[in-house]
Amino acid sequence: MDPDLRGKVALVTGASRGIGKAIAEELGRCGADVALASRDASAIAGAAAEVSAGGAETLAVPADVSREDQVEELFRRIEAWRGRLDILVNNAGVGSFGPLRDFPVDDLDRMLAVNVRGTFLCSRAALRLMRPRRSGYIVNIASVVGFKGYPDQAGYTASKHGVMGLTKSLAVEAQADGIRVSAILPGGVDTDLVGAARPDLDRSDLMQPGDIARAVLFLLSLPERAAIDEIYIRRRTSRPF
């Protein structure tokens, strides 16, 4: 059964397309007011308009989550808009792929900045809004590479291990304030990032972004006395991912 999110305020980062947009749509469908963030101002405005068309109240904020000043401004705007935050989905992420022997260090730095630093900055800002209410849910979208290794993905894998480290520590730290923290580790979703990472895969055989959005709704439907640390969700196939 879908959660009743009426009266709740949610933020989804990386929400202009793919998994993030699908999550924003599902949260809005369940009654939440949804703030959407992405670096692309035009794309995030368009995504917010689509979510609004489903009946949700939305706020579109262009923001690079690797930038502390932009994250602080993002959360200031959310607080001014609704005065609270109940749900944060850290979905923003980038990926670069190739053999480690000649992998550009700038690409590694960018992945660590967005995937790890961005998750850190947004979670820290969310805690400041959630702690006074002693409730909230932070969901971090990690990846199957958060616990598995694949060739030509060393830098990306390192960044997603960082996300998992943040998730595990914060889940323990935040529980005293009534805040739950979980990670979703998707494997094989039909997105541009997976297409770049695994051009060998038949994209028609992959999961859809909406499948991951449904996993977020499952977490939000749990009673407050229950907590799930992580969900690994993969495509159903007889072949290895």
Question: Which pLDDT value is given to residue 236?
Answer: 76
List pLDDT tens digits, range 154-207: 999 999 999 999 999 999 999 999 999 999 999 888 887 777 767 777 777 788
> In the chain, where are the structural domains located?
9-234
pLDDT at 39: 96
Q: Which H/E stretch holds residue 33?
A: strand 33-38
Whether 51 contacts 26, CB under 8 Å: no
What is the pLDDT, as a whole number, of residue 51? 97
CATH number for the region 9-234 comes to 3.40.50.720
Rg (CA), the chain: 17
* Residue positions counted in the chain: 241
Q: Which parts of the chain register pLDDT below 50?
A: none
Residue 200: predicted pLDDT:
76
For residue 229, the model assigns a pLDDT of 96
DSSP 142-167: --GGGT---TT-HHHHHHHHHHHHHH
Q: Which residues are catalytic?
A: 156
**What's the pTM value of the predicted model, to 2 decimals?**
0.94
pLDDT at 167: 98
